[in-house]
Amino acid sequence: IEQALALRETLFEEPSYRLIFGEADGLPGLVVDRFGDVLVVQTGSGAMEAHLDTIVSALDAVLSPTHIIAKNEAAAREIEGMERYTKALKGDLVDEVSLIENGAHFVAPLAEGQKTGWFYDHRSARQAMAPLARGARVLDVFSYCGGWGVQAALAGAESVTCVDASETATDYVHRNAELNGVADKVGSIQGDAFAAMKQLIADGEKYDLVVLDPPAFVKRKKDFKNGLAGYHAINELALRLIKPGGYLISASCSMHMPADRLLEVIHSSARHIDRSVQVIGYQGQGPDHPVHPAIVETSYLKSWFCRINFSL
């Protein structure tokens, strides 16, 4: 834990980051996210669950946080016969957490939120997005609490529309936009992403930048075929919404979806609707999600940055 903390304190000025990233930090089955004085812990294996008291004592000794919360709601826990629960291990159970990412301030739901409440892994990609968002009309699909969208507005976007199925998530989008002084630029659509994008196409909407950050469509190897079809469908919809010369950021957090296959999806989807693609950048997970060179599964996140034109 001290080794992991030293790395993060070298990399980040603010105490907002993934403190422990499982195998990559020498602690298989353990994830800890830091939100200032609040630590959110996930134990993904029976071995780590068995030593949870020791882990909490060690975290307390190293960091002395005011709160340590176990957020163990992943369905995968059932594989090892572990119950799903959320509870306070130190301090009281809190409903939400606060953080700073790339200079932007956010609040995120803990009890009703996804994973540990926030997704720090796209930090670097969101920072790289800034020049593309400046002066742009932006669509942020699968927006969750506005990590991409609010940062796009702060980067100087003309307007941002965030799409998410969760009413809780879209409520937090507006709270975070207000928190950062960009409430007048940020709107939301609460509903299914595929349906929302089809309606936007039908309405003739066009955007300078579309961000796709979907959940894992390929959670297991056997899901690959269906998941691949999902990536094709969502990327084609996004491409139809982009103005000529506009930009697409297309991401996947599916460990079983290789980066080169995602790029093939973008390219083939573009060709299907007579668009051409220029790849202008690539981002993986942020440095608080380090990669173990011998464990390919620790490298899971990918984002392609593309410029979209009509084919000549």
Task: Tell me which residues are annotated as active site.
Answer: 253
Spatial separation of the C-alpha atoms in residues 306 and 300, rounded to whole Å: 20
Distance set, CA 242 to CA 32, 170, 261, 278 (Å): 37, 23, 22, 14
Spatial separation of the C-alpha atoms in residues 125 and 304, rounded to whole Å: 9
| Amino acid found at 217 | F
β partners of residue 46: none
β-strand pairing of 302-310 with 242-252: antiparallel
**How many distinct helices (H) and strands (E) make up the chain?**
9, 14
Distance set, CA 310 to CA 131, 132, 200, 243, 263 (Å): 22, 19, 19, 9, 18
